[in-house]
Structure 1
């Protein structure tokens, strides 16, 4: 995509959010909606500053965000170091795929919250059940992306490496793994997104801290301004996490999009 096209798309995205903000401002300040249900932008901003300074229910916002991100980070880390090698091995060694793939494909369509109750019964209501839930949510997209990435590797690359005398391990690390990295990063973005949405839902079900807990606790007392602050923070955090992965991908997979040049 050309630089001019990227710039135009960014401007269109900015215009979209400006329009949304204007509609929000006009409808709430003009009395078209009940401000107890939809707070004004001014009230939402004031609430954010108050939570930022004093916290929510005596707990600092940094602690709420830190708890959520630490749970997410631990789960994604363990998913990455297990799903990535298992997925690549499944794509490279078909007997291993026969052993593992059916199990992953069985639980992958299940909504994570459907088996969260079982995890709470087995592991308790503490951090362990939440981290395992997020791990399982992140594992499947990473595994599937890694396994399918191997299937898309051009056979010509593999045959060329073998004709030059490369061993199976050399073919794997020098040809297959680099060729799979773009799709692996796509799977990582999906995994982080799925795990993050699962995290918020899990905190709403059984937690006493975290940004998801803050939103659901505020809903019990009709604190729509706090809910809006939490929802906006979750959205911004999700975007930032995705941008971080994209930047990491650009640094590692620097050849992506240049194959035809």
Structure 2
């Protein structure tokens, strides 16, 4: 039984590894077929060389344009972390109020939906006018991008909590705050974490837009700088790094979601 379980657990890993290898092989075949010149579609080897160069602080350029890849990634992840953290706090608080107080939800939900429908670039310029071109508009952009999906997910989760659990807690003498902290939030946690997953994805996809304004020290700044000089291998490197780190973050959130609600998907 344990052997069969380990085989089932290894299958998804092998399948994903096979898919990555197949994609790399297809990429290399397209490069060898010379459908496009190398400046348009560099090969995996060129992207690997760009990775080594951008990671080498002693290459005469301090990595890439004065910062190593790890330093740039750290700056972008810090921005995503701050923006998502504040966005989650605002989203959970607002979603709780929306879910617990129907009149508030009727008034606030259209505004949250309005913000959720706006692409980040639509309000980046406004944030720059309000807060300048330093760090603030980038973080505020990610906050505004991150909190709507969390608020919507939290409100939907709270309204879907089984009323029998709430009534039982009241019957046992729990206060309204106690019901929220001991019944509503634990029952809503899986859906809230789904909203957090969406928020992280939106924030990470928005970080490049945020770094178009005085963001040369981030991974998005590297991509934009490489685009100006037709350094396609560096552009692809930046996109791969953003995608891989986003996948790792999403995997961590999924693991947390399974730990919080191990029963989910089994009932």
Matching of residues 94-173 of structure 1 within 5 Å = 94-173=102-181
State the match for 1:185 in structure 2. 193
**How far apart, in 1, do the equivalents of 2:123 and 2:219 lie?**
22
User: What do residues 197-254 of structure 1 show as CA deviations (whole Å, max 9, x unaligned)?
Assistant: 0112222355222111111111111111111111111111111111121222233334
TM-score of the two chains, using structure 1 as the length reference? 0.91
State the match for 1:28 in structure 2. 31
The number of residues matched between the two structures is 258
State the match for 2:41 in structure 1. 38
**How far apart, in 2, do the equivalents of 1:214 and 1:79 lie?**
25
State the match for 2:245 in structure 1. 237
Aligned to 2:155, what secondary structure does the other structure show?
A: helix
Range moving further from structure 2, 28-37 or 113-122: 28-37
Deviation at 1:7, TM superposition (A): 4.2
**How far apart, in 1, do the equivalents of 2:163 and 2:49 lie?**
59
User: What do residues 33-60 of structure 1 show as CA deviations (whole Å, max 9, x unaligned)?
Assistant: 3111111111111111111013111222
User: What do residues 56-81 of structure 1 show as CA deviations (whole Å, max 9, x unaligned)?
Assistant: 11222222111111111111111122
Contact 2:190 2:260 in 1 (8 A): no
State the match for 1:53 in structure 2. 56
User: What do residues 79-108 of structure 1 show as CA deviations (whole Å, max 9, x unaligned)?
Assistant: 122211221121012233244323222222
State the match for 2:230 in structure 1. 222
State the match for 1:67 in structure 2. 75
| RMSD between aligned residues | 2.0
Which consecutive residues of structure 2, in runs of 5 or more, have no partner in the other structure?
58-62
TM-score of the two chains, using structure 2 as the length reference? 0.89
**How far apart, in 1, do the equivalents of 2:132 and 2:45 lie?**
41
Contact 2:91 2:151 in 1 (8 A): yes
